[in-house]
Amino acid sequence: MSTIQEKVVVITGASSGIGEATAKLLAKDGAKLVLGARRAPLLQNLVKEVEDLGGEAVYAVVDVTKVEQVEDLAKLAMDKFGKIDVWLNNAGIMPQSLLKQKKIEDWDAMIDINIKGTLYGIGAALPFMEAQKSGHIINISSIAGHIAHARSSVYSATKWAVRAISESLREEMAQDETNVRVTIVSPGAINTELLESITDEDVKSSTKEFYKNFGIPAERVALTIKQAIDLPDDAAWNEVIIRPTKQLM
């Protein structure tokens, strides 16, 4: 039997891809969802879909590079539902390119969203989880956080950082006996809007072709997240790599 019913789950990057798929899946088990992303119309549609599936949801327009907006998302969860059981740091971008192209705006955006956005989410959720002596922080990394290639250098660096932050947090929570679980999910080729953030047209074209041949739906990652949440409270999946069976790297 699922333990998700009545759990309050906060999701960033909720308007599409893994965030959207996770919201819909958890809604079927009666989760109470707090959805954050930048596109209000998509969030409004998702709230309706969640409610149609038997869940309950509220939303806020959130840019995860703005710490005040992330803090407000946590406050919304507390004001509406009185607790935060799970915080999913899902917002991310992947504008891959060669370093010699010096796409500094892309570098800065990845650092701001992928690293700082994750830190801001942890910072927003942790005080409430520590106070209630329970909780679960799930951070989305990537297979690129395990393997780096030409064109993926900065993206890989940000996703390696997510893994480092998560493991440090896990140890900190264990030392403090907070009962807060930490999970890293590292997806491979998952069919989402992530590819649209690639600004180099040659890289975008080749990456889209790769995903066309190997990519799997975001619902596969959502299922992994659900399974991680469903574990008994005294155990945690600390890290999961999920990628298509036929993906080579």
Look at the chain and count its residues.
249
SS3 89: strand
Please give the sequence-ordered ranges of beta strands (E in DSSP) within 6-115, or none if there are none.
Answer: 8-12, 32-37, 56-61, 86-89
* Ramachandran bin of 17, using left for φ above 0, alpha for ψ from -120 to 50, beta for the remaining angles: left
Burial category of 179 from C-beta neighbours within 10 Å (exposed 0-12, middle 13-18, buried 19 and up)? middle
Show the CA angle centred on residue 90, arms to residues 76 and 84, nearest 5°: 35
Among 5, 12, 9, 48, smallest CA distance to 28 is for 5
Q: Which amino acid is at 4?
A: I
Q: Give strand pairing partners of 140.
A: 185
One-letter amino acid at 68 equals: E
Catalogue the active-site residues.
Answer: 155
Report the alpha-carbon distance of residue 96 to residue 98 in Å, rounded.
Answer: 7
Residue 88 is classified by DSSP as E
Residue 142 near residue 118, CB atoms below 8 Å: no
